[in-house]
Amino acid sequence: MRAKINELERELIKIKEEFKKAREELKETQNKLTGREKSLVKISEKFSSAKKNLDNVSENKLNADIELTRIKPKLEELESNLKEANGTITKLESELKFTSEKNNEMEQSIKFKDKQIENNKDDLVNRKKEIDKLNENIKMNQMETEELIKKINSLESKLNEAESSPKILESIRDLMVHKGFISDRELDNIFKEFE
């Protein structure tokens, strides 16, 4: 279970690193987009200036054709640049949208992994409680078993004493019949014989 948690934590770190990298790429893309927008403004300003020049040139009929011929390629180039800039902006907007969606997916994945880790931690806590409870039960059972063993040993001792009592009485009776009395030493010898 600990190995699984470690694996999930490694995956979480990897996902966080990917998320950080994606965030940096998003920032870089936004910077590029800002640069393109500035370029577009400059191109638009140039386009405006060219149009003003064209209006000024049109006042002089004699030089209009020459000035128009000179400006036309520049105007076409500016229009081409404007079209290219618009295409680049569209592409960058698409990339930005894709990166944002990817970031959202990563955030969801991180939340899911975090939840899994929390659930696994809860499972571990519950398992530990169960193990602690089982250990307590084992200790109680061991104590009960030791008590039972003591009782059994005590009962066996008493049983042995009870079994040897008739024989001791028989030996005492025999001595009394033969001698009419019994000494302390003889009594001790009889007890030792049946220990």
Question: Is 151 contained in some domain?
Answer: no
Is pLDDT at 135 greater than 70 in this prediction? yes
Cα separation, 54 vs 71, in Å, equals 8
Question: Is 119 contained in some domain?
Answer: yes
Question: Is 83 contained in some domain?
Answer: yes
Is pLDDT at 64 greater than 60 in this prediction? no
Is there a contact between 46 and 78 (Cβ–Cβ < 8 Å)? yes
| Average pLDDT value for residue range 163-174 | 70
Is pLDDT at 37 greater than 70 in this prediction? yes
The confidence score (pLDDT) of residue 27 equals 87
What's the domain range around 189? 159-193
pLDDT band at 134 (very low <50, low <70, confident <90, very high): confident
The confidence score (pLDDT) of residue 121 equals 83
Residues 92 and 179 reside in one and the same domain: no
pLDDT band at 81 (very low <50, low <70, confident <90, very high): confident
The confidence score (pLDDT) of residue 60 equals 65
Residues 62 and 88 reside in one and the same domain: yes
